[in-house]
Amino acid sequence: MFTPRARAAGVAAALTVVTAACGAAPGTQQSTASSSGPNAATATSAADFGGLDKLVEAAKKEGNLHVIALPPDWANYGEIIQKFQAKYGIKIESETPDAASADEINAVKTRKGQDRAPDVLDLGQSFAISGAGEGLFAPYKVQSFDKIPEGQKEATGLWVNDYGGYVSIGCDAKKIATCPTSFADLLKPEYKGKVAMNGNPTKAGSAFAGVYAAALANGGSFDDIQPGIDFFKKLKDAGNYNPVETTPATIEKGETQISIDWDYNNAAYAPQMAAKGLDWKVNIPSDGKYFQMYAQAINKDAPHPAAARLWQEYLYSAEGQNLFLKGFARPVLLPSMTSDGTVDKALAEKLPSVEGTPTFPTSQQVDAAKAKLASGWDAAISG
């Protein structure tokens, strides 16, 4: 996801997940074409299989799905994986849950033709756009494709946004007297050595978004991320920046008492930490609201192409979207599900409150921001 993912929590132990070892001998990808059915690798919708039931049949024959970079406690992926396996009897092989989007793209390229290549990808949008441009993904339109808002999908289904959240500030209220509610607050002397992020912004989507949000809070724009880089330099010069990458373990140990991260990560930490005696509070910064969605894509050379397409159908079903919502992530179909009554209202009411309608940078603006960050971040933080 252009992110090192949030670390696995206790739910991981409850899953029956076969992890493919990175050093395993490569297998040979089997052909999916047959004389009695469609070629799953070229199917662009469930209709190409003869309907969803036929897609289910084809996916069950394959029997496996290989995923990468899906930690169990990120956007409720643990339960999503568990429910998919139980519903369809398809075993999910989950590899390297803490991998970044760049690792996912690399795996697609280097494992082409191998049965341990990832079938599907969950990516930061900039990586989804660049991967589509490189011809790495297969076009596929899920049954709910037309309900997904414009701007949240590639026209042919090469990538489709699935869930997202706002940049937020998490805070251990038992160790911090007054939790910050803005980026301006983070510069206060009482936060010396306490302000961390979930990864390096040149590699991690949540951290990249944190810098973008800081830019918006300090006179920048989608066209100008430099004020965000300057802000973190000020934070470092003030002694407030903490380079430790936030995980549930670092929060529990008190190593990262304030964390800039997606609201669904910070919100999900709260009940975990409450059970450990911590009071983890979450605020959307008042001066820098930044919302981003993550995208799904299917590997063009997926070793299990029917299972890959069924996974997409599941994620974009009301059941799958509500499971994202259960993990405090805002599903892409939330507007239409609210209108048609399929949203879980109790779960929707638990989302961190925020005012206003989110706006999004274009792919060109994101690419330019990434380039600026790549050339300026290390100098700002290490200089």
* Cα-only R_g, the chain: 21
Would you say the CATH fold of 165-290+356-382 matches that of 10-25+34-163+292-348?
Answer: yes
- Kindly state the DSSP code that residue 162 receives in the 8-state scheme: E
Mean pLDDT in consecutive groups of 10 residues from the start of the chain, 383 residues: 36 29 38 62 98 98 97 94 98 93 94 96 89 97 96 96 96 97 98 95 88 97 98 98 94 97 93 95 95 96 98 98 97 96 96 83 88 95 79
CATH class of the structural domain 165-290+356-382: alpha beta
Name the burial class of residue 241, with classes exposed (0-12), middle (13-18) and buried (19+) by CB atoms within 10 angstroms of its CB. buried
pTM beyond cutoff 0.85:
no
Q: How far apart are alpha carbons 361 and 365 in whole angstroms?
A: 6
Distance from C-alpha of 326 to C-alpha of 216, rounded to nearest angstrom? 29
Residue 94 CB-half CA count within 13 A: 21
Residue with structure tokens 């808002």? Answer: 149
**The total number of residues written for the chain in this structure:** 383
User: Domain 10-25+34-163+292-348's class?
Assistant: alpha beta
Instruction: Kindly report, residue by residue over 238-269, the tens digit of the pLDDT.
Output: 999 999 999 999 999 999 999 999 999 999 99
Closest CA to 170 of 115, 94, 246, 227: 246
Q: Would you list the domain boundaries of the chain?
A: 10-25+34-163+292-348, 165-290+356-382
What letter would DSSP give residue 12?
G
Q: Quote the pLDDT of residue 61.
A: 98
